[in-house]
Chain A
Amino acid sequence: MKNELTLSFLAIEENEALARMAMTCFITPLDPTLEEISEFKTIVSEAVTNAIIHGYECDGKSLVTIHATIEDRLIKMTVKDEGMGIFDVEQAMEPMFTTKPQMERSGMGFTIMESFADCIRVDSTLGAGTIVTFEKNFSPVTEVSRMR
């Protein structure tokens, strides 16, 4: 199947749940397994949370934009903000690294995204924003699950 979606929303924390819900609906026609849904939701949640709290520092007026395509069983997704950008992407992707320990951010967001997505790319420019790109292939639907 083929489908495409663009979703923009304000940088407020309440929209983390909105993004997860919308993106879960978007992949539902692929008939993913529960674990695939759960891992995909986690990727969305981590990327969107980063955009809201790091990119825009929850400014409540800027927009986060998700763009996603489905081709056959491959989903490609970008999460974009036009916020402050990442000073050092390599460092930001290290496990346990966080610039916001006072907010109890664990620094595990990128590690989780890397583990649950098939591939991830981070393009960031200081003062201009960040685009995180993912690809995830969903497993083929088996005959058994089709009959359920």
Chain B
Amino acid sequence: MATITQLENGIVLITLAGELDNHEANQIRTEVSTAIFTGKTRAIIWDLYKLGFMDSAGIGLILGRMRDLAPVNGETLILNPSPTMEKIFQFSGLSAVIRKCTVEEAIDEIGGVVHEK
């Protein structure tokens, strides 16, 4: 299950819950994509603290949305993965966008980077 919140400054917060496998990714992909293309999204924060399980389908879903944001140089942050999920992100070259922090801290980070530009 994905709870999608449009925050200020074009930041979209996606909180995932339950189990994210191929079946679930196919269920939520359209909803997530629609939210990103509605309004001027320039950053996505994926909060995984409620997510119980994720396999490579989660990597496909997140990489797909990073590609959606590439034309606007959009940013992605992934918050609070479990140790197993963190390994999966590492294998996939996504370590650099993982944070263990609150959503507010992540918003600060994205906001800060944008102000510097």
Instruction: Output the least CB separation between B50 and chain A (Å).
Output: 15
Assess the A35–B83 pair: CB atoms within 8 A: yes
Partner of A39, one of B22, B23, B84: B84
> How many residues of B are in contact with the other chain, CB < 8 A?
23
Assess the A42–B60 pair: CB atoms within 8 A: no
Q: Which residues of B contact A46 (CB under 8 A)?
A: 55-56
CA distance A113 to B7 in the complex (A): 37
Interface of B is mostly: helix
Q: Does B12 contact A (CB under 8 A)?
A: no
Partner of A41, one of B25, B53, B57, B91: B53
| Residues in A1-48 with C-beta less than 8 Å from chain B | 13-14, 16-17, 20, 35, 38-39, 41-42, 45-46
Assess the B26–A42 pair: CB atoms within 8 A: no
Interface of A is mostly: helix
CA distance A12 to B9 in the complex (A): 41
Assess the B91–A13 pair: CB atoms within 8 A: no
Partner of B63, one of A14, A104, A116: A104
Q: Which residues of A contact B87 (CB under 8 A)?
A: 115-116
CA distance A106 to B25 in the complex (A): 12
Instruction: Output the least CB separation between B101 and chain A (Å).
Output: 22
| Residues in A96-125 with C-beta less than 8 Å from chain B | 103-109, 111-112, 115-116
- Per-residue CB contact flags for chain B residues 30-65 toward chain A (1 = under 8 Å, else 0) read 000000000000000000000001011101110110
A residues with a Cβ closer than 8 A to B are: 13-14, 16-17, 20, 35, 38-39, 41-42, 45-46, 49, 52-53, 95, 103-109, 111-112, 115-116
